[in-house]
A and B are shown apart, each in its own frame.
Chain A
Amino acid sequence: MSGRISLPERGVALPDRKRLAMDSPIRNANLPSIATIPLSQHLGTPSRCVVRVGERVREGMLIGRPQGIISAAVHSPIPGVVTAIKEIDLPQGSRAEVVVIALDGEFDRLRRDRRAASTGRSEQEILTLLEETGVVGLGGAGFPTHLKLQPPKGVSVDFLLVNGIECEPYLAGDFRLMVERPSEIVEGIRTAAKLLKPRSILIGIQDLYAEAVATMRAACRESGLPIEVVALPARYPLGDERLLVKALVGREIASGLLPLAEGVAVVGVGTLMAVYEAVAFEKPLFERVVTVSGGAVREPANLKVRIGTPIGALLDECGGTKGTPERVVVGGPFTGSAVYDLGAPVTKTTTAVLALSADEVRPGRRTSCISCGKCASVCPSELDPARLFKLVERDLHLDARSEGLLDCSECGCCSYVCPARLPLVETLRVGKRLARESGVA
């Protein structure tokens, strides 16, 4: 493990808000009476709808078939009847086709009892299974897992890194999985390792999660796999793929490139759990763990939720909110999206539903930039966000690009610390898109 280095003092130390939900074991959420399932919950081409209005569907039945090279299958989370196929706005800001299913009939999940050990399947069989079950990265981006675990020809994987950092405040779903289901996660790692054939396997967990470090170490020992569990300092945004690679193996990934280019594969613990269930039970990805938390939630919890459940129902299930929350967020507080429509559905990449009070959001008045340099001092990509912000505001996208705009990982540390309350990361996000459109590589 030569070359491993500790992170520089970048990013931000956050007040501990994970405690709100950390001690609450994962429990099943109520089934939605109406599920709204987007056909695009992943990175890449939306899947193609294969059901019609009025059609009866069963639990776990395919409703969206992948199309194109990067795409993922979508399944019905509940048995019922398709009542509508329409377009809605998703919290992330994109418009997507959705299938609306009204709950009806029995839960007779297809192939529920057919269990086969992953060792009994060929690599190609496993990849096909992952594609058929629609497993994608559950940490946020939704990159199809059957593609992630399939390194391009000629690329050898040196490291398989398991991301158990979960650095955003409030989120505790990965923590609960590591504490409650460590051996299943390790089985997921076994499957990933079979496909990637890495030279070594490391699990990165933040030191705030001492309990998870212990359970994962024990499960790794039991499995007989040569896995090293590394406790890393609790600092946001250490869970960012590029930072985790740097912290664990000391390699730097150029922006725009996948870690695989440097011989590293990074997979989250939630995704590995889904990989395990897909391979062991042929279970399609139609439910996931969602942390419901925030200062405005009465009873924060970790719920196993069917995809398509409206987020308002989850808040209700957690005792409702205290007064009107300042903001309702889908995803982590640093990278998630504020929503106004509480009917918005949980998708494969929904890590959390947060109702935040004004004490937490701490809204403030915007003033001028005084170049205090705080943004640059916390930027994990070592950019000067204030300078990029000014360039983007003046439409100098190419100048911003040459000063590293595209290296911005949109972690949001700059906006979090800015005393002038400038919308730094918000502006850089837009600037990145414009720079890509206006520039040639």
Chain B
Amino acid sequence: MEGSTSRNLAGAPHLHEGSTTSAMMWTVTLCLAPSGLWGIWQFGLPALAVLVVAIGAALLGEIGMGLVLKRPALRDGSAFLTGLLVGYMMPPAVPLYVPLAASLFAMVVVKWSFGGLGGNWMNPALAGVALALLSWTGAMGSWTAPHAWHAVVAGSFATPIASPEAFVAGGLAHQRGGSGGPIALVALGHYPVSPFSQSVAQWLGSHAGVRIDPHYLDLFVGLVPGSIGEISPPLLILGSVVLFRRRILGWRVPVAYLGAFLLLIWAFGGLPLGGALFQGDPLFHLLAGGIILGALYLATDPVTAAHTPGGMIVYGAGAGALTFLFRDYGSLPAAMPFGIILMNIVVPAIDRVARSRRLGMRAREAER
């Protein structure tokens, strides 16, 4: 072993734990997969087509911009994930040019014009969906019945039907005055219930003495009209548990987001329905309209979320509060995307204020 050998001379440290960006991205994608499969099961081939187009367009945008800017970056897995999230926030029967446009906008304008992965200051998937909501509001607000409803709802996948929260929002105009709450409203409007939840509620009522409105069960299990990847809270939460355990996901943003949103819903959510203060229905609003997808997978996008521990709390709470405002007082069929991207804009300001203290600063401050 005398003399010189040519070797890798990179600087210290000479070890690595082995993590990679693409492994992180594919882990998130895998954790999201069950929710998407559930959507495809409930909404059929149209949902699959939307997902394929959304992902395909995102990959196309990534490849195209990589070629133009001579920075091929497809292998990091982030484009696939962005496309998947765009598709998850689309109604199953949306015309396919909508996910196409949303994904291309997300990649080309929002992501790459700010320098590609890590450079964008707004979540690309949310921005793409926001564009779709503003441009094709009607198509983005028209859902189809889930598979589980086919025994009670005539027609096929193509029959438009309002999602629960859109039904409630639409009902507001006609039913002002003491209706009780969103679930009372959907019951009053003869909003469909899956036979599955109907029988589970009956069983619970007669055998366990638990009275629960079957609409809640539909919302919880994911047997409602809605966007493809948003309707199944248990599957979304399951994936997030894996991400949390692998430390890809932190608790601050989701907890702050859900905390602020649910608190405001509870305090003020009853007012638009003619109720009093503190008569809102947090459970309904938690389960409906993609709040869980937003809290766990979108507000938490590390690139566009706040980076400091304190900043994450402020950012999450702000996004939750804005989501509440858009949910209760907005005119578009979705609140979560706008609540989050508006907070994306102020992240730099939040981080500047919320810088944490450093080791040794106490000693230095004492000197002064």
Contacts and interface: CB of A to CB of B under 8 A. Distances in A.
Are A and B genuine complex partners? yes
A69 interface: no
Interface string A39-54: 0000000000000000
Contact of A370 (B302, B360, B361): B302
B12 interface: yes
B8 A363 contact: yes
A340 B24 CA distance: 34
Contacts of B18: 362, 364
A419 B12 contact: no
B199 interface: no
Contacts, number: 192
Interface size classification for chain B: 35 or more
Contacts of B361: 252, 254
A416 B359 contact: no
Nearest to A372: B302
A248 interface: no
Interface residues of A, number: 78
A371 B303 contact: yes
A135 interface: no
A342 B41 CA distance: 62
Contact of A253 (B75, B355, B360): B360
Nearest to B76: A367
Contact of A252 (B303, B305, B308, B360): B360
Contact of B362 (A252, A341, A370): A252
Interface stretch (A181-189, A201-209, A312-320): A312-320
A316 B1 contact: yes
A356 B1 contact: no
A263 to B, nearest CB: 12
Given A327-B7, A369-B118, A371-B118, A312 B22 contact: no
B11 interface: yes
B10 A340 contact: no
A362 B19 CA distance: 9
Given A312-B2, A376-B307, A382-B358, A364 B20 contact: yes
Interface stretch (A97-105, A149-157, A213-221, A423-431): A423-431
Contacts of A252: 359-363
Interface in B103-142: 115-119
Given A316-B1, A370-B21, A425 B13 contact: yes
Contact of A361 (B2, B16, B303, B305): B16
B116 A368 contact: yes
A191 to B, nearest CB: 29
A338 interface: yes
B367 A370 contact: no
Given A324-B7, A367-B22, A370-B21, 17 more contacts: A12-B17, A253-B363, A262-B363, A325-B7, A326-B7, A327-B8, A336-B14, A338-B14, A342-B1, A367-B73, A370-B78, A370-B118, A370-B303, A373-B302, A381-B359, A382-B359, A419-B21
Top 5 A-B pairs ranked by shortest CB distance?
A412-B13, A312-B1, A368-B118, A426-B11, A419-B19
27 contacts: A169-B15, A252-B359, A254-B360, A254-B361, A325-B7, A326-B8, A328-B7, A329-B12, A335-B13, A340-B6, A342-B5, A356-B14, A360-B14, A363-B16, A367-B20, A367-B117, A369-B118, A371-B305, A382-B359, A383-B358, A384-B355, A404-B358, A415-B12, A416-B16, A417-B17, A423-B11, A429-B11
